[in-house]
Structure formats: structure tokens, C-alpha cells
Amino acid sequence: MGRAIIFAMVAAVSATQDPTPKILPIEHASVLLTYSINGQDFHVYSDPVDQRAEGLFDKLPPADLIMITHSHSDHFQPSTIEKLWKSSTQLVAPPDVAAMLKVVNQTVYSGTTILENSNSTRVGGLQVNAVPMYNTGPNPRHPPGKWNGYVVLINGQRGSVYLSGDTAFIPEMKVNFGFRFRFAHAFLCMNLPYTMGVDEAAEATLAFDPEVVTPYHYRNADNTLSNLTLFDELVSAKMAPATPITVDLMNFYPHGPLVQFLPEEIPPLGHPI
């Protein structure tokens, strides 16, 4: 492990495409990115899951693209995928998720592109790149090479979004997964004991040096929330002055870690914590 994953720079696209997505933090690892492509909204969901089956996605738009990082139940929920599905929806997923979809829903499976680490695909005006996500040490909960983080590009660096999935601070981060530019926006997991603690997440952020970083998936196993204020302080204290990092805190648990927020109470796009 640790080998740089090199992707070709996506070609410049039409000026009618807005490279900066609107961001809706939904809950835990679920994020909605809405791009403007040729004057139309293009809705991209990452790991859409309604953990308490209380209609979290009922008032959200259907998906144009769904990205699944891995098969754990807080990231992969076929019933929510079916709720967001329309005839033109496409899905990207690692092999084991695709195999599960083949069993439970042939329609969704037929719209699925299987990606492994270092693979990429084009969906609409976007390029989706699968990058490593894993834990280190013996018997890792997230084994190396099995599952994906994602880097989404629409216009090279200006539209780059990194979603970590469940990962530790891994060597690939130190070389920015082989990309030769800073990510415009990174979503980074932060929960113990499954991914990173606050200190490790801050060190990871400083290593791959995004322009903007947002913690997500920050509910710990004991149902406490990670200390985002401390994360902000650690990154801000150590970042290089020549390449500042903006820590953009968003509320992925607006009613606390144990309470589902209702559809009519979904915060506005980019709602701060």
C-alpha cells in the first residue's frame, strides 16, 4: 500500500457547468451534492441511509447519481436507494455492494458501475474516481483494497470533492491519492473506534491539504460526537500560511446523535453547526 494512484486530469468542460456544488449535510455519512449542469440540477448522493426509517429522504429530490463507499449498514441501504431511484439514475459501488444489489434489486443493479480502487467513470458531466479507504493494523474493520472513497471532478481542481468513506490516516493521503492539485472540498470521517480520532483526522487533513475540509461521520461508537472545535483548532494552528485550509463545520446530527431529524426540519444548504 502507499503507492500513488494517478488519474488523468479531467478535461475542461462547458462554462454552463457550475463546478461548485450546493451541499446538503443529511445525516452521519449521507451527503447530497447538487451541481448545475447545462442549466439543470444534477443530484449526487453519497451513502444515502435513513437509519431509523423515519422518512428522512421523502422530501429530497430523486438521484441522478448515487455513490456507495462500502457495504456497512450505515452506508448502504437498498430501501433508500430504491426511494431515490428514477429511470435515469446511475450508481457507483465497490464489487461486494454490486453483488448484493444484484440479489435484491435487478433494476438498480442494471444501473450500477462497479469501481475498485484506482478506477474511474464518467456520469453526466462528472468524473468519479475511486480511491483507497481502509483501516490499518490486524483484523481491520475496513480492509485495504476492498472499498472506496471517492473524488468527484467536474472541472478539474475547481470542482473537486473528496469523500473519505470510513478510513484511517493512510499513506495515500500523503500524496493526495496521486492528484496534482488541492481538493476544493473534502469530507473526512472522524469517529472512534471505527475510523479516525480528532488528532488523527487533523493530521490527515494537513497531509493532503484541501482548500476546504468538512468533518462528517463523526458520531462515535458510544453515541458521543467528536470534538469539531478541537479539530478546527488543530488544523488552523498547524496549516501552512501559504496554503490555508478552511474548516467548514456542518451539522450532520442536528437533533443529536440518537435523534433522527425530520424531513421538514432539514437545514438549508451549507447549514453550519
* Mean pLDDT by groups of 10 residues along the chain of 273 residues: 37 52 95 94 96 83 98 95 97 97 94 97 95 91 96 83 98 96 96 95 98 96 93 96 96 67 36 32
- pLDDT at residue 4, rounded to an integer: 39
Question: Residue 136's pLDDT is what?
Answer: 85
Antiparallel, parallel or unpaired: β 40-46 and 90-93: unpaired
What's residue 120's pLDDT?
Answer: 97
pLDDT of residue 168: 97
| Predicted structure pTM score | 0.87
Q: What is the Cα–Cα distance from 171 to 73, expressed in whole angstroms?
A: 27
pLDDT of residue 18: 63
Cell of 175: 500524496
**Predicted local confidence at residue 257, as pLDDT:** 63
The position carrying cell 478506477 is 119
pLDDT at 258: 53
In whole angstroms, what is the distance from residue 36 CA to residue 238 CA? 35
pLDDT at 8: 38
For residue 193, say if its preceding peptide bond is cis, omega within 30 degrees of 0: yes
Task: Note the pLDDT of residue 156.
Answer: 67
Q: Is 64 exposed, middle or buried (0-12, 13-18, 19+ CB in 10 A)?
A: buried
* pLDDT score, position 97: 97
Q: Alpha-carbon distance 160 to 175, whole Å?
A: 16
Output the pLDDT for position 158: 74
pLDDT of residue 213: 98
